[in-house]
Amino acid sequence: MELRGARLDELELELVEPFETSFGVEKRRRFLLLELEERSGEVGYGECVATADPLYSSETVTTANEMIATRFLPELLRSRSVDPASFLRSAARYKGNRMAKAAVETALVDLAARLSGESVADHLGGGRRRIEVGVSVGIQPTVAGLVRRVGRYLDDGYRRIKLKVRPGWDARPVRAVRAAYPDIEIWVDANQAYPTRNVARIRRWATASRVAQVEQAFPERAIRAHADLARGAPFRVCLDESVVDMPSLEDALDAGAISSLNVKTGRVGGAEVGQALARRARRARVPAWVGGMLESGVGRAHNVHLASLPEFVLPNDLSASDRYYHEDVIERPFVLGPGSTLEVPKGPGIGVEVSERAVRRARRRSRTFRR
Ligand SMILES: [Mg+2]
């Protein structure tokens, strides 16, 4: 492929309801949308999941904007021939900045798939027509409110429920949800909130409430604490923030610190990287699934295609559009289908159309680039 131009938009969408995790509360989502244009006029889209503040990771909208605008795009626009893998190879000399890299790589994957007339899923090897999804429920003001919120999601058709937890918001709310809904599958996600001395405590309340999976209880580098939690546990120990590349996954596997892998393209720096990590995990009998970062419809579409690949086997954190935003930037929203599933768009590319009207409304800054 040879690129002719690009557009980098900074957008802001208002969430349907505030989303609280152990990192803080999000009411609005600021993010980057990247449009790459090939010589033929075909375009591909990528989304950058970095947030306005460096809370989930050290990257932000501002740092990603800088990397994409001053490093990646000028280099891509100078190049005679680009593809997702060659981009990642040449971008590898820049440390970190994985969310910025993933935005570019996914846009290239979309573009390459569109040019070959196939869906992103088929381009990456082919997958299921529908994917199984669950919902991630933020920290709520009250336990009663949480139980009601979970009830509404179950009424909507979601089967697997993931509760955000943190010290002081764990044993009691999780027990209340379990008591109200004895048969549902409950996961919890602490986003690194616990000190490593809390292994036994977490194990107690998670076991008592028959939690199926405990995600990222400890800081990202605390591999040994995750291994301690996993030893003999009746639940899976899932790593999210700890796994950023193949070496970190290998170390976690060696240490016995991981029995489930949350793959986020932004965190690992690309869709093909995420697929490789999931394939490696599968060889070690560790199931993988695709996590969410409150993406707009563009990032969600990319995630849905990725989740449809055979490497991903657990229900994904990819809910219907109406769970996130009043107005999304894609024309046709994702809706929840039978059996707690989303349909994989048929393509070409990610198979969703970006609404220019919605982009204009959500736009805060915009830059265009020419060859
Ligand atoms: Mg997580």
Ligand 1 center–CA 212 separation, angstroms: 15
Ligand 1 center–CA 279 separation, angstroms: 20
- Pair of tokens at residue 224: 């040994």
Kindly name the residue from 27, 95, 264, 346 that is annotated as catalytic: 264
Domain of 50: which CATH number? 3.30.390.10
244 and 324 co-located in one domain: yes
Residue-level pLDDT at 359: 97
9 and 35 co-located in one domain: yes
Q: Residue 83: pLDDT above 90? A: yes
288-314 pLDDT, tens digit per residue, is: 999 999 999 999 999 999 999 999 999
32-54 pLDDT, tens digit per residue, is: 999 999 999 999 999 999 999 99
User: What are the backbone angles phi and psi of residue 276, rounded to the nearest 5°?
Assistant: -65, -40
Catalytic residue at 27?
no
Residue-level pLDDT at 85: 96
69 and 111 co-located in one domain: yes
Place of tokens 């290998």: 250
Collapse the DSSP code of 144 into the 3-class scheme (helix H, G, I; strand E, B; otherwise coil) and give the result.
helix
215 and 307 co-located in one domain: yes
What would the mean pLDDT of 258-276 be, rounded to a whole number? 96
Ligand 1 center–CA 266 separation, angstroms: 12
192-235 pLDDT, tens digit per residue, is: 999 999 999 999 999 999 999 999 999 999 999 999 999 999 99
As a whole-number percent, the residues of the chain with pLDDT over 70 amount to: 100
- CA 110 – CA 241 distance, rounded (Å): 25
Q: Residue 321: pLDDT above 90? A: no
Collapse the DSSP code of 74 into the 3-class scheme (helix H, G, I; strand E, B; otherwise coil) and give the result.
helix
235 and 306 co-located in one domain: yes
What would the mean pLDDT of 273-287 be, rounded to a whole number? 98
58 and 180 co-located in one domain: no
153 and 260 co-located in one domain: yes
Q: Distance of CA 359 to CAs 85, 266, 327, Å? A: 29, 21, 10
Q: What is the mean pLDDT of the chain?
A: 96
**For the chain, how many structural domains are there in total?**
2
Ligand 1 center–CA 52 separation, angstroms: 18
267 and 142 co-located in one domain: yes
Residue-level pLDDT at 337: 95
341-354 pLDDT, tens digit per residue, is: 999 999 899 999 99
Domain of 246: which CATH number? 3.20.20.120
Residue-level pLDDT at 58: 93
Q: Residue 167: pLDDT above 90? A: yes
Question: At a CB cut-off of 8 Å and minimum separation 6, what does 323 contact?
Answer: 16, 135
pLDDT band at 265 (very low <50, low <70, confident <90, very high): very high
269 and 325 co-located in one domain: yes
Of 97, 107, 114, the C-alpha closest to 33 is 107
- CA 336 – CA 321 distance, rounded (Å): 9
Ligand 1 center–CA 191 separation, angstroms: 6
Residue-level pLDDT at 161: 97
Ligand 1 center–CA 242 separation, angstroms: 10
Residue-level pLDDT at 56: 85
Residue-level pLDDT at 55: 87
- CA 194 – CA 326 distance, rounded (Å): 33
162 and 72 co-located in one domain: no
Q: Which residues surround ligand 1, an ion (CB under 5 A)?
A: 189, 240
62 and 171 co-located in one domain: no
Residue-level pLDDT at 47: 98
234 and 251 co-located in one domain: yes
pLDDT band at 23 (very low <50, low <70, confident <90, very high): confident
Q: How many helices (H) and strands (E) does the chain have?
A: 14, 13
- CA 139 – CA 367 distance, rounded (Å): 36
User: What are the backbone angles phi and psi of residue 232, rounded to the nearest 5°?
Assistant: 70, 10
**Which pairs count as long-range contacts for 278-285, CB under 8 Å and 24+ apart, including other chains?**
278/309, 278/311, 278/312, 279/311, 280/246, 280/249, 280/250, 280/253, 281/249, 281/253, 281/311, 282/311, 282/313, 284/253
Q: Residue 17: pLDDT above 90? A: no
Q: Distance of CA 240 to CAs 92, 99, 128, 271, 344, Å? A: 21, 14, 24, 15, 24
Ligand 1 center–CA 357 separation, angstroms: 32
Residue-level pLDDT at 111: 98
- CA 303 – CA 318 distance, rounded (Å): 8
Catalytic residue at 162?
no
Q: Residue 82: pLDDT above 90? A: yes
Identify the helix (H) or strand (E) that includes residue 240.
none
Kindly name the residue from 27, 95, 101, 164 that is annotated as catalytic: 164
> Residue 187, by phi and psi: left (phi above 0), alpha (psi -120 to 50) or beta?
beta
Domain that holds residue 188: 123-343
